[in-house]
Structure 1
């Protein structure tokens, strides 16, 4: 049953000609790329390569944006008329228009102007995730207790597609823009580091998660890391940091809250990094009491969170630590893992603790899972 959403702001109609162009592009096939492809073609970013990359993005980005605008226009339960969703839709429409009105990229001068444009588009979309989170939270409030958290599969499927597409768009733009850095970090090809140490990245994410735990509780359980810090592989360090931070943060909170009134010391969280032929697997294990088997499906939904939702707080920024409370941590982390051919699994023992298995494809040969 559709909900009678009434947007407080007038719905901005898309100009007819632009709407027809969006529809035309939304019927075109998206072109996926792999981590290996991005890295190999970016190793020596000559003017010719940057020109080729800009020409590809000039054609590809409007297609991806058009797919998302079409979905945002046709959401169930009145979401398409909800203020926050309309705001996000308008950002996508504006970016589509900017790209379609930009002339063909024919030389290095055009390429530099195009790079400036897509960087502005990336910044325009910085707050898409928290803005959508507020809109979805309002849907959850409107539903109240009348429907369960898992009774809207179409909303969760849409959000999976929407955020997977968003990861891809930001990766393509970020990679192209980063190749213009006059002083790239050693071992980096754009956003990709050819020698990422998962142990070192995990340790940095652990330090950040423990700081967040200390800010909330005044203390934090210890985290022990097992693995070879000298082992490296090609990956995007920011993606890896985000996933490990989220998983460790959840474990720390579970352990801390279970033992907050106990006379016993908090058991430490264990992080194990294993190097396989196809996958690098990171296991995060805690003794935080676990999750009920009936509750496990809920952890992958965008409506479920055990933390307080900061929807009424100050203006939110797109940071993992602030996103706690929207129920986005685990599903978004799984999308990051799947984007380059990995996965995220959660196995829990109620009454004891939880193990999270983060699988990362070390071959880099899997194309983006485009929605």
Structure 2
């Protein structure tokens, strides 16, 4: 089903852009008949050569009723603690309960995002990238809503195959949304576009969490049905005892290796020092935390290397180190990353958290165009497709972590066979996407910049895992 404005339109048209002087474009979707009744020549009048070309072929009309029924349902949020308690002692009955929760939750959550997209301005939905995402979402919604109640393990295996197929199909959603947001800059208020992006990306994370969690539980059950897991292991995708120091050091080595790949083996790479509460640990989904930490460290390392190369005499024989401080409170863990990379310039600072607004838009579009697949994980920061410490995979498919434990290879997730992100590419979405990940489990991400000196980044994480995933309410959706 396409937006209300084009439900009955089945024509193919090309919209290069539009001019408000020639034709008035509504800021919200007009009634179906208003757009369907316009002659084809009207679309030709919208062409202008000073904007990117948008091409979108409208799909056949689909009935609204099926979507309305699912939009009327509310999503049922979960917490990390619920995921752990539910999966700690896994039985066949629990596994089937998990399958049926996912079976009903996925189409519910997707339906809300489809409705959000229907409420976007017409010219935004006709963007080819946004349109592609819309089609992907409707295909997934239509597929999941037709899955019957899961009553046997064989039914569950078939359902997991459908989940895996959909996860693979949607691995390019993030770059498509990012390119769509950049190309639609100016077609709707920037604050509304960023609000839409935050909601749709947070919802995407939520769907992948419950889908991948169920697939992981299924794999665990097949290997050891009924076995009670210890506190040093994973429960599905959740690492029960995620040690912050281990994650920071692992991501630090990865980003330093990435910098050497980008700047050359002789480049002066800053040291990464970790201090504070070094034993602090908490339950978390490792791939999400690694993505946030890696992007923050990547930004700091790049800033320090480039700032030092311009001012070598100011800092002595080697670049100033990046300081990572770990702090534990009763409710939270706070990770501060401090660098002396010269800070953030004033023209960039106002747009730091925006997906669609800011300088260097052409360069960001060009870079995103070279990263057609992106699940937002540490895997995608690998230079030339490999990090040395991630190559040492044991026969059971697990990855050694600092000699203490093993992270199963499937916990990298949506995560596994992704196109490598070249080290020189700067996508311009790492900070807003990292904040979406941080806020998903009721955390936060803030940056404080001192121009000419450096940046302090503060990542706050809920320590107990008892905070529900932060999903958009119906009121929030209506406001978009």
> Considering the TM-score relative to the shorter chain, is it more than 0.5?
yes
Residue 318 to residue 29, structure 1, CA distance change in 2 (3 Å): closer
Give, in whole Å, the separation in 2 of the partners of 1:42 and 1:214.
Answer: 41
Q: Tell me how far 1:59 sits from its aligned partner.
A: 1.2
Q: Tell me how far 1:292 sits from its aligned partner.
A: 4.5
Q: Tell me how far 1:336 sits from its aligned partner.
A: 1.0
Which stretch has the larger CA shift, 46-55 or 115-124? 115-124
Aligned runs of 1:1-371 on 2, under 5 Å?
Answer: 2=25, 7-16=54-63, 19-76=64-121, 78-140=123-185, 143=186, 151-182=189-220, 187-218=233-264, 219=267, 220-264=269-313, 265-292=318-345, 295-303=348-356, 304=358, 308-309=363-364, 310-313=367-370, 315-319=372-376, 320-321=380-381, 322=421, 325-371=426-472
Q: Deviations over 1:126-176 (max 9, x none)?
A: 111012122223224xx4xxx9xx951110000000000011000000111
SS at match of 2:57: coil
Contact 1:299/1:305 (CA < 8 Å) preserved in 2?
A: no
Which stretch has the larger CA shift, 256-265 or 120-129? 256-265
Residue 259 to residue 77, structure 1, CA distance change in 2 (3 Å): farther
Give, in whole Å, the separation in 1 of the partners of 2:205 and 2:369.
Answer: 26
Contact 2:175/2:368 (CA < 8 Å) preserved in 1?
A: no
Give, in whole Å, the separation in 2 of the partners of 1:297 and 1:315.
Answer: 28
SS at match of 1:281: strand
Contact 1:137/1:326 (CA < 8 Å) preserved in 2?
A: no
Q: Tell me how far 1:64 sits from its aligned partner.
A: 0.4
Give, in whole Å, the separation in 2 of the partners of 1:334 and 1:311.
Answer: 19
Q: Tell me how far 1:316 sits from its aligned partner.
A: 4.4
Give, in whole Å, the separation in 2 of the partners of 1:55 and 1:179.
Answer: 13
Q: Tell me how far 1:77 sits from its aligned partner.
A: 6.3
Give, in whole Å, the separation in 1 of the partners of 2:148 and 2:370.
Answer: 42
Q: Tell me how far 1:13 sits from its aligned partner.
A: 3.2
Give, in whole Å, the separation in 2 of the partners of 1:121 and 1:48.
Answer: 25
In structure 2, stretches of 5+ residues that fail to align are 1-19, 28-45, 48-52, 382-420, 473-480
Taking only aligned residues, the RMSD between alpha carbons, in angstroms, comes to 2.5
SS at match of 2:218: coil
Residue 311 to residue 367, structure 1, CA distance change in 2 (3 Å): closer
* TM-score of the pair, normalised by structure 2: 0.70
* TM-score of the pair, normalised by structure 1: 0.90
Q: Deviations over 1:171-194 (max 9, x none)?
A: 000111111224599610000011
Q: Deviations over 1:326-368 (max 9, x none)?
A: 3211111111111112111111112211100000101111111
Give, in whole Å, the separation in 1 of the partners of 2:291 and 2:334.
Answer: 15
| Divergent runs of 4+, >6 A | none
Contact 1:247/1:356 (CA < 8 Å) preserved in 2?
A: yes
Give, in whole Å, the separation in 2 of the partners of 1:190 and 1:32.
Answer: 17
Contact 1:301/1:327 (CA < 8 Å) preserved in 2?
A: no
Which stretch has the larger CA shift, 217-226 or 235-244? 217-226
In structure 1, stretches of 5+ residues that fail to align are none
SS at match of 1:272: strand
SS at match of 1:260: helix
Residue 247 to residue 306, structure 1, CA distance change in 2 (3 Å): farther
Contact 1:302/1:326 (CA < 8 Å) preserved in 2?
A: no
Q: Tell me how far 1:270 sits from its aligned partner.
A: 0.8
**Bigger radius of gyration:** 2
Give, in whole Å, the separation in 2 of the partners of 1:53 and 1:124.
Answer: 22
Contact 1:130/1:318 (CA < 8 Å) preserved in 2?
A: no
Which stretch has the larger CA shift, 290-299 or 123-132? 290-299
Q: Tell me how far 1:105 sits from its aligned partner.
A: 1.4
Residue in structure 1 matched with residue 31 of structure 2 by the alignment: none
Contact 2:56/2:131 (CA < 8 Å) preserved in 1?
A: no
Residue 311 to residue 338, structure 1, CA distance change in 2 (3 Å): closer
